[in-house]
Amino acid sequence: MQILRSCIKFSVAAFLGGLAAGCGGGGSGSSLAPAVSCSIAQLESQMDATLSQAVSEEDFSYSVQRQDGRQYTFNRGASTLQTSYESKSASKLVSAVIILRLVEQDALEQDPLTLLSRPQDHIATWPIPSSDPLFGMTLAQLLSFTSGLTIDPPCLEEPSSGFEACVISVANANAGNSIAPGQEFFYASAHLQVAGLMAAEARAMSWQAIVADFKSQTGLFPSSSYNSPSASNPNLAGGMHFTGQDYMDFLKALKDGLLLNAASMSELLSDHTALVPIAFSPMFSGIGGGPGLGEDWHYGFGLWHECQSATFNCVAGTRVSSPGALGTYPFWDRSKGYAGIVVLNGVFGADLLTGITIERSVRSTMESWAAC
């Protein structure tokens, strides 16, 4: 049965950009335009048709949830929202949220983990000497990829490496690079690996125990885990396996303010790269030999601030995301109240833009659906 919703358009400028796309035309000569109807069923059928023709050599699932909780899902081939997918960088946002929750919970501890904590405050074996500029890096800089780390050592992809031993390898590989923390943004996995060990040492727990606590407290990610390259050496920046529905539930909880307090959410969503040069961004130039968008995206804590421009001229925090190099693309448009994900396992680097391209192909119809 076709579902009809009535969308009333006002001539207030703020509404014209959103509801107009969802509900069609309206008069410009009066303060209240005539009501017009929009069909959710028809819009969903249009999305089905567009997504069935989307360019992708891999099976994929697309899902989006609007402000009132209605969720639309499209599956192509054998993919479903219950299929286990490799995260790559889609895990960065999850890791950042988990660590920020620990900062909140540690506030009353005698030696708390804070955004101003430095690795040597919690990691007894941290080898960077006080004479090295990297000695001053903070947890906040690690979460925003402005810590000065630029080299990812091989152990980040080695199952047999120990988690702490790998973090020490990160330090040794980057020592002496003469980069002062807070002076540039460089997209790399090393930042989150150091941040994760700081959290683990501050709590005297393994990262896996921290994740288990997070799952117990929130009920999220029941079918997902940090297990790549191994459970004993998980890559926090790209080592999850998760289902699309698990990630959708995470996005909803984050969007609804159930995971972080106001101060932490503000830090998560702030533009922490507004005043520093972008030394390396895969969203601009690509990664693993694959193409980039040529767009100047900025960064918060574990998430991108999207901007469809060669020079950042967007409002930070309006649309945020955490794409992975295999094509998975979780996104949250805060201005329009929807969040969603495209999940697929493509070719590293070559498919970095596949999920983004799929989402953009259907975005105009989806935003009409979201406003209907």
Mean pLDDT of the chain: 91
pLDDT tens-digit profile of 331-366? Answer: 999 999 999 999 999 999 999 999 999 999 999 999
pLDDT score of 224 more than 80: yes
pLDDT score of 26 more than 70: no
Which residues make Cβ contacts (< 8 Å) with residue 5, sequence separation at least 6?
37, 38, 39, 40, 372
pLDDT tens-digit profile of 310-329? Answer: 999 999 999 999 999 999 99
pLDDT score of 22 more than 50: no
pLDDT score of 131 more than 50: yes
Residue 25 sits in the same domain as residue 172: no
Find the helix or strand (DSSP H, E) in which 329 lies.
strand 329-333
Q: What is the pLDDT of residue 36?
A: 60
Burial (CB count <10 Å: 0-12, 13-18, 19+), residue 179 = buried
Residue 238 sits in the same domain as residue 148: yes
Residue 31 sits in the same domain as residue 119: no
Residue 129 sits in the same domain as residue 175: yes
Residue 147 lies in a domain: yes
Residue 258 lies in a domain: yes
Residue 102 sits in the same domain as residue 29: no
Residue 50 lies in a domain: no
Residues 104-120 have a mean pLDDT of: 90
Axis crossing angle, helix 207-218 with helix 190-203, rounded to the nearest 10: 80
The least confident of 40-49, 101-110, 139-148, 240-249 is: 101-110
Residue 345 sits in the same domain as residue 302: yes
Burial (CB count <10 Å: 0-12, 13-18, 19+), residue 133 = middle
Query: In the chain, what's the furthest Cα-to-Cα distance?
Result: 71
pLDDT score of 18 more than 60: no
pLDDT score of 5 more than 60: no
Structure tokens at 282: 């895969």
Residue 73 sits in the same domain as residue 209: yes
Residues 53-59 have a mean pLDDT of: 97
User: Residue with structure tokens 């035309």?
Assistant: 25
Burial (CB count <10 Å: 0-12, 13-18, 19+), residue 190 = buried
Q: What is the pLDDT of residue 120?
A: 98
Residue 36 lies in a domain: yes
Q: What are phi and psi of 78, to 5 degrees?
A: -85, -5
CB atoms within 10 A of CB 89: 24
pLDDT score of 143 more than 80: yes
Residue 49 lies in a domain: no
Residue 14 sits in the same domain as residue 116: no
Residue 52 lies in a domain: no
**Which domain, by its residues, includes 318?**
58-371
Residue 118 lies in a domain: yes
Q: What share of the chain is helix, strand, coil (3-state, %, to 5)?
A: 35, 15, 50
* CATH assignment of the domain containing 285: 3.40.710.10
Handedness of CA 34, 37, 43, 44 (dihedral sign): positive
pLDDT score of 32 more than 80: no
Structure tokens at 82: 């219950």
Alpha helices by DSSP H, listed for the chain, are: 13-16, 19-23, 40-52, 91-105, 119-122, 139-143, 163-174, 190-203, 207-218, 244-255, 262-269, 282-285, 354-371
Residue 263 sits in the same domain as residue 230: yes
Residue 126 sits in the same domain as residue 8: no
- Structural domains in the chain (count): 2
Residue 53 lies in a domain: no
Residues 102-125 have a mean pLDDT of: 92
Q: What is the pLDDT of residue 35?
A: 53
Residue 18 sits in the same domain as residue 91: no
Residue 39 sits in the same domain as residue 86: no
Q: What is the pLDDT of residue 121?
A: 97
Axis crossing angle, helix 163-174 with helix 190-203, rounded to the nearest 10: 130
